[in-house]
């Protein structure tokens, strides 16, 4: 019963958070400087002042922000409709779904690889502390973590396309667009190599560093000494006693990062012309496309909050003390 | 440290690629498609020109299109009555010839016979007239066409190959106007009852009568494939397909050209042009275009609401003259544009109408810092101990803002601030996002100096309209706030001057007025910078329309 109550409380709190985020976003986008109509049309001189006025009416911008625009948005969302994007002229939900798939594929793959290699490297480095392996892994991770995303992406793109003939951008080759997925998988894989590699290198450092310090700390605990005294071998100590405890901070980071996965990786998507959510966020902001902005940030808020809930639940499984408190 | 890192990364890349991808180039990627054989050489393979560009059309519906990428596609897919030629004059496309009645109110267009839609049906005079009347009668729906049919009363069919357009008043730039009226396939457009319905229709399966047909468009992968229209009325292209692919990053796009993933780039950034010129098998092209970049001086009327917030010294014509005298435009072109442009003089670029509209009589102010100092001295601005001039309590201290989305503006602002400092004007450069800059200039009139630019229209009308006082309202295109009743009167007059020489005289006069009053100091006319793979294709037509114009692509052929 205690655990059920705990989850229920968490869930209610999550709902409240989403509601607050929605309201803050609604206000925040509208206090941005500039005129959304001008941002959407750019410097298209074919659109006169009168036409801009009629667009303003069509977008509902001629009405007061509160209560009219706010109620309109809430009413629309309540009926399950996220509205139509002003700049892309497509239903917001449809756009979000199509880009979500692209982003999950790229960022998800990059995250899995970097978690795997980062945790492994951190574990080895922490275990073999103060060896050449530790120093090497630490140096590599620090540099990888500090490398600017854009720079690394461009360097890999230049090298990969010049020497290995890897594609310079996009998700599929033009001649494969529109074909059934299973026939274009090899092409898709080739397009994913460089962005995934960039992403893996960039995230790997963070996981490695956290895992290393966590394992170092755990290995200094009294119960490890006890385990040693009991005569367990090194593998048993590492696997059964150290790893489980050392994983707690990593779980937090993974959960948080997975939540933000949905925000995409603006830089990587931009460098590799990969049409995902990160790039979409940027477009929505520069175009001041309120329906798209609101939809995108709702998706982001929901996924971050869900990921946090997931972390909380995992904690109750991994660490009995959480349940007790 | 970085070198070691770089080396390590390259080793990593090599390892990854060697283990995962043997068939690595995009063209030879394993595919069941008969269009992409692993071994080129068969004559069956379609000849494909691949173009990289930075955007994607928002729609293929000419009624309601915002982005320039949409207009690029319109030119390939649709036809118009007339079109701008490589020399800047207007030539017939759907129309063979045209003529205007003596009172200037009825235009007669003689249509070409035997024009067909992409679906094989004949294009009729009735359909052309249906289009024109739809634009005239429903300006709220056909938003982006409405400006071009202003003053049109009605279109009529005379016979199978002749139509008439009746206008309310004489229209001086008729050929230019109809060159933006893309004729669409009526059955696709007839069913819309309201403006909103028409505007929400993106027509991504467009049927037109242009030299290229839309084969496929994928808005999620952002790929457009065009096929040559074999039934086009004016010959047909020597290539089979054109593929447009979107790049979000110009460095990646340039790299794609370098390795041959694409064959053409329509917009090479200034900063990359020298590098692209040095690529093997790539020809880089720098041609005079239609864009202008200017220094805007806050010229909003004193009684403007809200009250202009600016350094009052800017109202003094001598201060404006001094600023103009202290700017070395040639140096800006050499340093900022690396030579890819020409120093600016008037608001009409020399390319419009093949030079017909550009007032070549205007002598630009000569760059001379001593002279600029003398002008200010004479006007009563005295240098203080900090080197900044002042007259009474008006110090020559001002903001120098620029749009943050243009990579060459910061350098420009730095150079101008430096020159101004030498004549005792302290100008502080500041980067501002374009959205805020729109509002600051119009309607707020809250700025001193702003660096910004225009991609001028082929007809002088638009650039001239930017300086009229009626555009200085919210949503209007004036940013300087220039207001001159005589200028406004001449603007309306040139719209109705059917005789080209008569219109030219007025247009020249208007340029002179703006030049002398200096709401704008035109800094330069920028070049169009483009590049293509010269080992793959040849025959591009180099003109102000760009090597990616439909006329140019119809002339392109593969290198054998």
Which tens digit of pLDDT belongs to each residue from B173-217?
999 999 999 999 999 999 998 888 898 899 999 999 999 999 999
Distance from CA of A164 to the nearest CA of B (A): 7
- CB–CB of B265/B530 below 8 Å? yes
Q: How far apart are CA A77 and CA A299, in angstroms?
A: 13
What's residue A304's pLDDT?
86
Cβ separation of B50 and A174 shorter than 8 Å? yes
Q: How far apart are CA B506 and CA A31, in angstroms?
A: 44
What's residue B252's pLDDT?
95
Contact residues on chain A for B474, CB-CB shorter than 8 A: 49
Percent with pLDDT over 90 in chain B:
83
Give which of B10, B22, B29, B265 to mutate to test A binding, by max A Cβ within 10 Å. Answer: B29
Residue B16 predicted with pLDDT over 70: no
Report, as an integer, the average pLDDT of A25-48: 83
Residue A49's alpha-carbon distances to A37, A38, A44, A89, B478, in angstroms, are: 10, 10, 11, 21, 11
- Locate the chain B residue with the closest alpha carbon to A100: B220
Q: How far apart are CA B413 and CA B250, in angstroms?
A: 23
- Which of B5, B221, B259 is the closest to A275 by Cβ? B221
B29 — pLDDT class (breaks 50, 70, 90): very low
- CB–CB of B60/B155 below 8 Å? no
Of B312 and A18, the one with more pLDDT: B312
Cβ separation of A34 and B436 shorter than 8 Å? yes
What's residue B41's pLDDT?
44
Cβ separation of B455 and A41 shorter than 8 Å? no
Report, as an integer, the average pLDDT of A240-256: 84
- Which of B67, B223, B252 is the closest to A174 by Cβ? B223
Average pLDDT of chain A, as a whole number:
87
3-state SS class at B100: strand
Distance from CA of A246 to the nearest CA of B (A): 29
Report, as an integer, the average pLDDT of A266-284: 89
Beta bridge partners of B213: B227
Dihedral-angle region of residue B268 (phi above 0 means left; psi in -120 to 50 means alpha; beta otherwise):
beta
Count of CB atoms within 10 A of residue B203's CB?
20
Residue B166 predicted with pLDDT over 90: yes
Both tokens assigned to A89:
């002229």
Both tokens assigned to A215:
């394992």
Give which of B220, B243, B280, B404 to mutate to test A binding, by max A Cβ within 10 Å. Answer: B220
Residue B10 predicted with pLDDT over 50: no
- CB–CB of A239/A227 below 8 Å? no
Contact residues on chain B for A157, CB-CB shorter than 8 A: 251-252, 255
B387 — pLDDT class (breaks 50, 70, 90): very high
Residue A234 predicted with pLDDT over 90: no
A3 — pLDDT class (breaks 50, 70, 90): low
A278 — pLDDT class (breaks 50, 70, 90): confident
Residue B2 predicted with pLDDT over 70: no
- Which of B65, B221, B247 is the closest to A172 by Cβ? B221
Q: In the block, which residue shows the tokens 């080739």?
A: A190
Alpha carbon B139 to chain centroid, angstroms:
24
- Which of B146, B251, B253 is the closest to A51 by Cβ? B146
B404 — pLDDT class (breaks 50, 70, 90): very high
Q: How far apart are CA B459 and CA B452, in angstroms?
A: 20
Q: How far apart are CA B229 and CA B180, in angstroms?
A: 21
Distance from CA of B48 to the nearest CA of A (A): 10
Strand duo B212-218 + B223-228: pairing: antiparallel
- Locate the chain B residue with the closest alpha carbon to A54: B140
Cβ separation of A38 and B21 shorter than 8 Å? no
Contact residues on chain B for A52, CB-CB shorter than 8 A: 475
| Cα angle: B297, vertex B303, B306; to 5 degrees | 80
What's residue B22's pLDDT?
34
Q: How far apart are CA A219 and CA A40, in angstroms?
A: 57
Percent with pLDDT over 70 in chain B:
92
- Cβ contacts below 8 Å, chain A against chain B, sum to 208
Q: How far apart are CA B541 and CA A17, in angstroms?
A: 59
- Locate the chain B residue with the closest alpha carbon to A99: B220
H or E element in which residue B243 lies: strand B241-246
Of B461 and A7, the one with more pLDDT: B461
Question: Quick one: DSSP state of residue B36?
Answer: S
Q: How far apart are CA B475 and CA B438, in angstroms?
A: 9
Both tokens assigned to B190:
């007839």
Residue from B369, B364, B396 nearest B380 by CA:
B396
Both tokens assigned to A194:
């460089």
| Terminal C-alpha separation, chain A | 13
Cβ separation of A44 and B249 shorter than 8 Å? no
ipTM for the predicted complex comes to 0.86
- CB–CB of B195/B140 below 8 Å? yes
| Cα angle: A309, vertex A313, A314; to 5 degrees | 115
pLDDT, tens digit, for every residue of B59-110?
999 998 988 999 999 999 999 999 999 888 899 999 999 999 999 999 999 9
What's residue B360's pLDDT?
96
Q: In the block, which residue shows the tokens 């760009």?
A: B546
Residue A176 predicted with pLDDT over 60: yes
Report, as an integer, the average pLDDT of A82-105: 90
Ranges B6-20, B174-188, B267-281, B405-419: which has the least confidence: B6-20
A323 — pLDDT class (breaks 50, 70, 90): low
Q: How far apart are CA B464 and CA B278, in angstroms?
A: 39
Average pLDDT of chain B, as a whole number:
91
- Which of B20, B261, B438 is the closest to A168 by Cβ? B261
Of B507 and A323, the one with more pLDDT: B507
Burial class (CB in 10 A: 0-12, 13-18, 19+), A181: exposed
Give which of B36, B55, B63, B66 to mutate to test A binding, by max A Cβ within 10 Å. Answer: B66
B18 — pLDDT class (breaks 50, 70, 90): very low
Q: How far apart are CA B226 and CA B242, in angstroms?
A: 5
Please, what sign has the CA dihedral across residues A215, A220, A221, A225? Answer: positive
3-state SS class at B442: coil
Residue B223's alpha-carbon distances to A111, A178, A273, B245, B446, in angstroms, are: 28, 10, 12, 5, 42
What's residue B371's pLDDT?
98
Residue A262 predicted with pLDDT over 60: yes
Q: In the block, which residue shows the tokens 């359909």?
A: B127
Q: In the block, which residue shows the tokens 């709220």?
A: B140
The pTM of this model reads 0.87
Residue from A11, A79, A44, A111 nearest B62 by CA:
A44
- CB–CB of B60/B70 below 8 Å? yes
- CB–CB of B541/B551 below 8 Å? yes
- Which of B50, B66, B259 is the closest to A161 by Cβ? B259
B121 — pLDDT class (breaks 50, 70, 90): very high
Both tokens assigned to B60:
């293929």
Q: How far apart are CA B31 and CA A185, in angstroms?
A: 9
Of B158 and B31, the one with more pLDDT: B158
- CB–CB of B292/B344 below 8 Å? yes
What's residue B364's pLDDT?
97
Cβ separation of A271 and B249 shorter than 8 Å? yes
Q: In the block, which residue shows the tokens 């999550």?
A: A14
Q: Which domains does chain A have, with CATH numbers?
A: 3-78 (no CATH), 93-324 (1.10.3720.10)
What's residue B57's pLDDT?
94
A56 — pLDDT class (breaks 50, 70, 90): confident
pLDDT, tens digit, for every residue of B212-258?
999 999 988 899 999 999 999 999 999 999 999 999 999 999 999 99
- Which of B216, B438, B477 is the closest to A178 by Cβ? B216
- Locate the chain A residue with the closest alpha carbon to B28: A187
Of A263 and B435, the one with more pLDDT: B435
Contact residues on chain A for B261, CB-CB shorter than 8 A: 161, 167-168
Count of CB atoms within 10 A of residue A109's CB?
15
A37 — pLDDT class (breaks 50, 70, 90): confident
- CB–CB of A222/A262 below 8 Å? no
B27 — pLDDT class (breaks 50, 70, 90): very low
Both tokens assigned to B268:
């090479």
What's residue A324's pLDDT?
57
- Which of A39, A167, A175 is the closest to B435 by Cβ? A39
Q: At what angle do helices A277-286 and A290-318 cross, to 10 degrees?
A: 140
- Locate the chain A residue with the closest alpha carbon to B250: A271
Question: Quick one: DSSP state of residue B64?
Answer: S
pLDDT, tens digit, for every residue of B498-526?
999 999 999 999 999 999 999 999 999 99
Buried b (16+ CB within 10 A) or exposed e, A120-134: ebbbbbbbeeeeeeb
Residue from B260, B255, B259, B19 nearest A197 by CA:
B19
Residue from B234, B181, B185, B216 nearest B71 by CA:
B181
Burial class (CB in 10 A: 0-12, 13-18, 19+), A104: middle
- CB–CB of B495/B171 below 8 Å? yes
Of A205 and B41, the one with more pLDDT: A205
Please, what sign has the CA dihedral across residues A189, A195, A197, A199? Answer: negative
Beta bridge partners of B40: B42
Report, as an integer, the average pLDDT of B447-458: 93
B555 — pLDDT class (breaks 50, 70, 90): very high
Residue from B378, B379, B305, B317 nearest B517 by CA:
B317
């Amino acid at each position: 019963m205690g655990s059920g109550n705990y989850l229920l409380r968490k869930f209610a709190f999550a709902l409240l958070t989403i509601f607050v985020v929605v309201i803050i976003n609604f206000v925040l986008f509208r206090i941005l400087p500039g005129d959304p109509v001008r941002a959407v049309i750019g410097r298209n001189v074919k659109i006169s002042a009168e036409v801009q006025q009629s667009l303003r009416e069509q977008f509902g911008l001629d009405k007061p922000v509160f209560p009219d625009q706010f109620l309109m948005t809430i009413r629309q969302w309540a009926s399950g409709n996220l509205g139509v994007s002003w700049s892309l002229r497509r239903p917001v939900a449809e756009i979000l779904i199509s880009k979500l798939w692209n982003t999950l594929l790229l960022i998800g793959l990059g995250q899995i690889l970097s978690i795997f290699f980062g945790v492994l490297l951190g574990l080895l480095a922490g275990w073999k502390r103060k060896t050449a392996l530790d120093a090497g892994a630490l140096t590599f991770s620090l540099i990888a973590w500090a490398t600017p995303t854009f720079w690394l992406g461009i360097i890999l793109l230049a090298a990969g396309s010049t020497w290995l003939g890897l594609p310079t951008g996009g998700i599929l080759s033009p001649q494969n667009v529109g074909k059934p997925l299973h026939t274009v998988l090899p092409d898709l894989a080739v397009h994913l190599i460089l962005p995934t590699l960039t992403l893996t290198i960039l995230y790997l450092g963070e996981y490695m560093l956290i895992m290393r310090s966590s394992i170092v700390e755990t290995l200094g605990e009294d119960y490890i000494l006890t385990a040693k005294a009991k005569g367990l071998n090194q593998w048993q100590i590492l696997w059964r006693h150290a790893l489980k405890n050392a994983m707690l901070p990593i779980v937090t980071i993974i959960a948080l990062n997975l939540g933000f996965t949905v925000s995409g990786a603006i830089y990587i998507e931009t460098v590799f012309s990969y049409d995902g959510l990160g790039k979409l966020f940027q477009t929505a902001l520069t175009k001041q496309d309120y329906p798209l902005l609101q939809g995108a940030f709702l998706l982001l808020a929901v996924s971050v909050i869900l990921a946090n809930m997931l972390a909380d639940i995992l904690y109750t499984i991994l660490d009995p003390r959480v349940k007790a408190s | 440290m970085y070198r070691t890192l770089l080396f390590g990364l390259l080793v990593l890349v090599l390892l990854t690629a060697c283990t995962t991808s043997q068939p690595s180039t995009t063209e030879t990627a394993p595919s069941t498609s008969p269009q992409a054989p692993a071994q080129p050489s068969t004559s069956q393979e379609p000849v494909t020109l691949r173009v990289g560009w930075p955007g994607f059309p928002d729609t293929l519906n000419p009624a309601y299109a915002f982005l320039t990428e949409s207009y690029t596609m319109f030119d390939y897919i649709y036809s118009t009555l007339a079109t701008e030629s490589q020399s800047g004059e207007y030539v017939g496309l759907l129309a063979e010839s045209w003529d205007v009645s003596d009172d200037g109110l009825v235009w007669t267009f003689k249509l070409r016979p035997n024009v067909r839609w992409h679906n094989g049906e004949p294009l009729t005079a009735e359909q052309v007239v249906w289009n024109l009347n739809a634009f005239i009668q429903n300006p709220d729906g056909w938003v982006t066409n409405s400006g071009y049919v202003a003053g049109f009363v009605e279109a009529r069919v005379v016979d199978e190959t002749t139509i008439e357009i009746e206008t309310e008043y004489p229209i001086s730039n008729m050929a230019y106007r109809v060159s933006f009226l893309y004729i669409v396939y009526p059955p696709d457009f007839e069913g819309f009852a309201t403006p909103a319905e028409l505007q929400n229709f993106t027509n991504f399966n467009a049927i037109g009568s242009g030299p290229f047909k839309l084969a496929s468009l994928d808005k999620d992968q952002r790929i457009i494939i065009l096929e040559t229209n074999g039934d086009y009325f004016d010959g047909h292209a020597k290539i089979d397909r054109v593929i447009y692919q979107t790049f979000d990053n110009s460095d990646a796009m340039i790299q794609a050209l370098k390795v041959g993933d694409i064959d053409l780039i329509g917009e090479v950034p200034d900063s990359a042009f020298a590098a692209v010129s040095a690529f093997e098998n790539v020809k880089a092209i720098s041609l005079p275009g239609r864009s202008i970049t200017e220094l805007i001086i806050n010229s909003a009327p004193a009684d403007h609401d809200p009250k202009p917030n600016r350094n009052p010294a800017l109202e003094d014509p001598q201060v404006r003259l001094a600023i103009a005298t202290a700017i070395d435009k040639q140096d800006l072109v050499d340093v900022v544009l690396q030579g890819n442009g020409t120093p600016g003089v008037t608001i009409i670029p020399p390319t419009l109408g093949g030079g017909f509209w550009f007032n070549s009589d205007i002598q630009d102010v000569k760059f001379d810092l001593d002279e600029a100092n003398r002008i200010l001295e004479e006007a009563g601005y005295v240098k203080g101990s900090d080197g900044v001039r002042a007259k009474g309590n008006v110090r020559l201290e001002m903001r120098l803002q620029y749009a943050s989305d243009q990579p060459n503006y910061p350098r420009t602002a730095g150079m101008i601030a430096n020159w101004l400092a030498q004549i005792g004007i302290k100008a502080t450069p500041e980067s501002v996002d374009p959205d805020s800059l729109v509002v600051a200039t119009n309607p707020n009139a809250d700025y001193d100096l702003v660096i910004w630019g225009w991609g001028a229209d082929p007809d002088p009308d638009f650039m001239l309209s930017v300086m009229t006082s009626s555009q200085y309202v919210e949503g209007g295109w004036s940013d300087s706030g220039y207001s001159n009743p005589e200028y406004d009167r001449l603007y309306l007059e040139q719209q109705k001057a059917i005789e080209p020489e008569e219109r030219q005289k007025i247009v020249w006069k208007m340029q002179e007025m703006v030049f002398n009053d200096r709401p704008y100091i035109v800094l330069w006319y920028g070049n169009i910078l483009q590049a293509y793979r010269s080992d793959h294709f040849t025959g591009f037509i180099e003109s102000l329309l760009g090597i990616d114009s439909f006329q140019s692509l119809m002339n392109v052929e593969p290198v054998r």
